[in-house]
Chains A and B, each alone.
Chain A
Amino acid sequence: MQSHAQLSSIARAAALTLGGLAVASTATAQPAPINPPPNPHVFKLGAARYETNTVTSGISGIGIPAGGDVTTGNANTAIVTYEYHFQPNWGLELALGIPPKIEARAAGSVAFLGRVLEARNYSSTVLLTYHLPDVSSTIRPYMGIGLNYTRFGDIKTPYAWQVGLTDSIGWATHAGIDWRLNKQWGLYASFAASEVKTDLTAVGATVLKTSIDFRPRVYSAGLSYRY
């Protein structure tokens, strides 16, 4: 489990590292304009399709026949992001989703167990994003890399298990297009991918374990507002 302090330091470290990278790559191109552009603050609100795209390791535990596994479902949710454009082409973005409710269903030799688990992914992602150069153009593609931190909460199971899911920190990446409508408002569409790994331990009459390797793909689209 990550403490708040650890988490902040990880975010800080990520920002520092990525910031350093940005300076290095722009330094060779031109004398770096370090001033932010006008209206550097951008908020986005979008609808998102969260596809879990999971790879699991099979369920192990006393009394579970060979071939027991679990699959996860997809979800629709909403995403809020805030990005600060510290240079005309570079921004640091924090993306938060309304935690999607992910369902896990038993599979393989234990498929008859049906829905075994439901949990919300509380996820936050920090992304260093590069926007294509022309600040004045109506359509600006962007792409970025960063870190995702996910915790699992509101864990529910119809079985008499106490379930734990470990926290996850992994890479994240996104790409998208901003479409400027006027000085403040715009539309956007984006695709994001990240790596979210968790170890599941369910303690009941016995102990069941599995590793879930989510490789979520998030498609989102919505409104942007800058000031």
Chain B
Amino acid sequence: MNPCPNPARAWARTALVVAAAFGLVAGTLSGCGGGGIDEPGTTPTAGAPATKGSFTTLVTFGDSLSDIGAYAPATSLAGNGSAPYFGGKFTVNGPGGTVWVENIAATVGVVVTPAEVGFGATSVKCPAAANAALAGTCTAYGQGGSRVTDPNGIGKAGGALTVPVKTQIANHLARFTSFKATDLILLWGGNNDAFVQFSTFSATATQIQTDAAAGRISADEANRRLFSAQTAAEDEMKKAALELAGYVKTEILAKGGRYVAVFNLPDSTLTPFGTTLPATARPVLTALVDTFNLWLREGLGGLPVQIVDQNTPGKDVYANPARYGLTNNTVPACDAAKISAITRGAVTDGSSLFCNSTPGVPFNGVRAGASATTWQFADGVHPTPGGHKVISDYVAARLRAFGWI
């Protein structure tokens, strides 16, 4: 070994060794799968129209919040499915009893009618088509209980149609072949997926807590099982949200839809139903809603659609009801006892589907002192016409902000 190496050569050798060592390390590491990963839900939507639409049709997909009377036959005064009906919408029915879909149709200046009306074994698609002039108006697809993909929605066993959003879109394509540039297309699905998953979670949680209380499992084990049950429910919400985004992409945008807005989910714990939940369960329902909204955002990232955030404004309405002309946002305006009496005991949960506000009629189901315009909720989760006006005012403001109306 040379005891006195040439400095220049030694430096060069050192540099080589250092570089080689770093190269080796970097080279080895490149196969390790390290590094950061993209965070879901951070890609914004892009490319939606920014110009005013020439709308001839309002097309809405969704659940009870967007239902403009699909189950009216269940509220037949004669009790045989025939008109006249005393209910039919999930709000306070009767004079001025409109929901957000009808309000937006009025704002845009188009007529919209239910895509399908019926209950139990009997239903009619596009009943308005009986009048040829209205054949193109039956584009309000929302039905109480509907989920995103699963046809077994809430109330299906009791006769509700619960056609899922997936099939609602397919039905539209079957009748009208494609979406048009003159369609204003609004989707609001997933609320019932959250309720179904929450209900499944709650049943599991009750069992876990029973086992823990009886000493069959440790507190840590109970917590692990609760976390696992919650994760399973969140996974289902993720799946539903990505499916909904997929339908928007492949069944609406790819089939002519131009003006497409997708609503995310409001926090269902900010309802009279939500306030009845145990404090430990409420965050789980909120998490399910947030999970859906996260993956909906992820699924719609980069697509030429607009997202209408119903979650943040919903929180503001809950916190500041007076700002929206509301005086009560905690008590349902419909009286469960009256509705039970009107339906001869068939409906005991106070569902607003059977709630009517016409003064002086025997089927008036409104709670004494309640208002259909200044109280926010008709039942545990559904808004009064006043609550619906808050929603449609907000949606109209967003549509204006998009430059669409």
List chain A positions with a Cβ less than 8 A from chain B: 1, 4, 7-8, 11, 15, 34-36, 38-40, 62-63, 65, 82, 84, 86, 92, 94, 96, 110-114, 119-120, 122, 124, 126, 151-155, 160, 162-167, 199, 201, 203-207, 209, 227
Contacts and interface: CB of A to CB of B under 8 A. Distances in A.
Contacts of B27: 4
B283 A151 contact: no
B34 A62 contact: no
A204 B32 contact: no
Given A4-B23, A201-B39, A151 B32 contact: yes
Interface string B1-42: 101110100110010011101110111111011111101110
Contact of A155 (B25, B33, B283): B33
Given A63-B230, A112-B227, A152-B34, A94 B39 contact: no
B39 A207 contact: yes
A1 B234 contact: no
Contacts of A201: 36-37, 39
A119 B220 CA distance: 25
A174 B79 CA distance: 87
Contact of A63 (B23, B41, B291): B291
Nearest to A165: B34
Contacts of A152: 32, 34-35
B224 interface: yes
Contacts, number: 136
Contact of B21 (A82, A112, A206): A82
A62 B290 contact: yes
Contacts of B29: 122, 151, 153
B162 to A, nearest CB: 25
Q: Which 7 residue pairs spanning A and B have beta carbons closest together?
A: A153-B32, A164-B37, A205-B234, A63-B287, A112-B223, A166-B36, A84-B14
A96 B25 contact: yes
B337 interface: no
A22 B14 CA distance: 17
Given A166-B35, A207-B41, A122 B25 contact: yes
Nearest to B222: A112
Contacts of B238: 205-206
B231 interface: yes
Contacts of B14: 84, 86, 92
B294 interface: yes
B235 interface: yes
A55 B10 CA distance: 42
B284 interface: yes
B36 A62 contact: no
Interface string B117-139: 00000000000000000000000
Given A82-B17, A84-B10, A92-B18, A39 B35 contact: no
Contacts of B3: 38-39
A68 to B, nearest CB: 11
A8 B1 contact: no
Given A39-B3, A65-B283, A8 B32 contact: no
B37 A124 contact: no
B5 A40 contact: yes
Contacts of B37: 162-164, 201, 203
Given A36-B7, A112-B224, A205 B18 contact: no
Nearest to B289: A62
Given A126-B18, A163-B37, 13 more contacts: A34-B7, A84-B10, A86-B7, A86-B14, A113-B224, A152-B32, A154-B32, A166-B35, A167-B34, A167-B35, A203-B39, A204-B231, A204-B235
B21 A164 contact: no
Nearest to A152: B34
B291 A227 contact: no
Given A63-B287, A206-B234, A4 B26 contact: yes
A205 B37 CA distance: 15
Contacts of A92: 14, 18
A199 B294 contact: no
Contacts of B28: 122
Contacts of A205: 231, 234-235, 237-238, 291
A153 B291 CA distance: 28
Contacts of A8: 19, 22-23, 26
A11 B22 contact: yes
15 contacts: A36-B5, A40-B5, A63-B287, A84-B10, A92-B18, A96-B21, A111-B220, A113-B224, A152-B35, A167-B36, A201-B36, A204-B231, A204-B235, A206-B238, A227-B1
